[in-house]
Chains A and B, each alone.
Chain A
C-alpha cells in the first residue's frame, strides 16, 4: 500500500488542478526514461543486477504465499515487468485475489479492488464530480465548489474481479485507463498513477448472466493467464500455510519507482533480427488468411492476433530473458510467452468452437510448424 506523499502525486488521487500540473511532471519523467534507450545510453550492469535481484525476491515472496501457482506467478511477473495488464481466468478459490493483493504488498503499491456486478456503473470505477463545501477565510464563511472524487481506478494495482459480470458500458470504463493511463471525466482528463496495472479475473464456468469481454477489451490485456487447480502436493502446502495460526504477509521488495525502472531496464534488452522475424512469423501464423498459416488455423480461426500480440511477445520475451539470466531474447522466450500472449487474441470460428478446439492447441501447432 502506497504511503501518502510517496511516489508520484497521481498515486494519491489529489485535486484535479494538482493532477493536471502533475501530469506535466509525469510526462517529463516519461521523456527522461525514454531518453535512456538511446544508443550508448540505457541501463547498465547495476540496473540489470537490480532487476534480477528484485524480480527474484518478488517471485520468491509470491511463491511463499501463493502456493502451487508457480507458473501463474511467473507469467504474472512477466506481464508486470513488461508494464502490461493481465486477465486471470480460473474458477473461484484458487487464490487470484490473494495473488494480486500479495503483489501489491510486495511492491508497496496502492491496491484497489472493484467487484464487477451487473449494476456497476462507470462512475463507480473512474469517479465523479461532487459538490463540496470549502471554508473561505477572507469571507469568514464557506463556499460550495465542485470537486472530483476519484474512483478506485486511481490506484497502482486494480483488481477487476469477475470483470465479465459488468455490462459492456462499465467494462469500457477501463479501456482508456488501460491503454492511455488516463481517465476522462467531464471535460477533464486525469492521469492515472504510475505504475498502473489492471489485473482482471473471470470465471470460465458461470457464464449465465455475464457479458464476455469484447475483442477490443481483451486485446488491452498483455497476458491472459489460466489459473489451474493445484495438485495434491500443493494442496497439502496450502493447508499448512493457510489454516494455521501463522498469518503470512509479503515483505516489501520494491517501490513503484523501482518497478518503473525495472520496466525500462527490461525494454532495453536487445532483440536480434532473426528473433523478431520469428515473432512476426508466429503472429502471422495465427491469421487464417495467411498462406503460411497451419491448416488448423485456416480451419478453426476467425481472427488472428493483432500487432499488440507481437508487442506482447517481444516485451515479455525481454523480461523472460532477463529472468533467465540472459541479456538477449531467444527463440525459446517467444515460444514460452506465446501461450499467455496469444491465447486471448485468437478468435475461433464456429467450427473451432464446435470441435472443441482451444487456442492453446492452435498455438502449440503454430509453434511446432513455425
Chain B
C-alpha cells in the first residue's frame, strides 16, 4: 500500500487481474483475488470510496457500529496483510491486445488478463446557481470532512435519504441548528435513523421545498427557496444521491442501462469477456457496502474462473 516497488509496475507485466476502484467493493474483490493466488493490482482515484465519508455505519454485519473511515481502515489492513498493491490513479482508456487488456492512465500503462470495474459512484450535484461557486466555501458533499467548520453554526442538509438523515444527525452534534430540506413529504431514512432525526431537538425538517439558489459573498450566507423565501445559513450539505462512475465503461463499449450503470449478470460478467463489474457502478437494485463487497467477491471468483482458460501468447 505504502511503497509499491516500481519494478512491480514493469510495463510488460501482465497482471492476472486489475481492479478499478478504491471502495469496499474493489478491496473485497482484490482480497479474494489474492487468496485465489491471482496477481492482483488495484488502481483507484479515491481510496475508501463514498463510504469513507459516512460518519457511522451500523449495518455491516458483525460490526455493530463503526465510522466509514474506520471500516475502510480495516479493509486497508486486510489488503496490506496480503501485500496487495494500490495505486492512486485513474484509467482513461482500455484496449484489447491479443488475449489481454491494456489500460492507459496519464502516468502509466498496464496490462491485465482480466479487469473488474468497481469504480462506484459520485455525488450527484443539484445544478443550481451558487453550488459550484461556493464549493468548499460553504457548499459541501461530506459532513465528516467539513462538519468541524460549522460548530455552533446554522447548516442545512438537502435530501431525504438515509444518508441525508445520517449527515444531519452527525452535524447536529456540533451545529447550532440543522435543517433538512426535502422536496417530498416524508424522509426516506431507515426507521431507526428517522426516529433519531425526529427526536433530535436541533434538527428541523422542511418538507415539500426545493432550493433554487445558494447565495453569499466570500462564503455561503443564505439559500433561496422556490417560494421566494430566503433562509440564512452558514453551510449547505448536499446529499441527493449518487451517479455511477461509469465513464470508462461507456468509453470501451460496455453495455449500460438508462441510469448509466453497467449491466452485469449473476456472475458479475459484462458483455465483454474478461471484464467484470460490481458494486455501485453496476446495475444492482440495492446498493450497500455489504452488497457491493459480495458482488466484488463474485467478480473475483468469476475472473479466477475465466483465467483458468486463459493463456498468454508470447
State yes or no: do A and B come from one complex. no
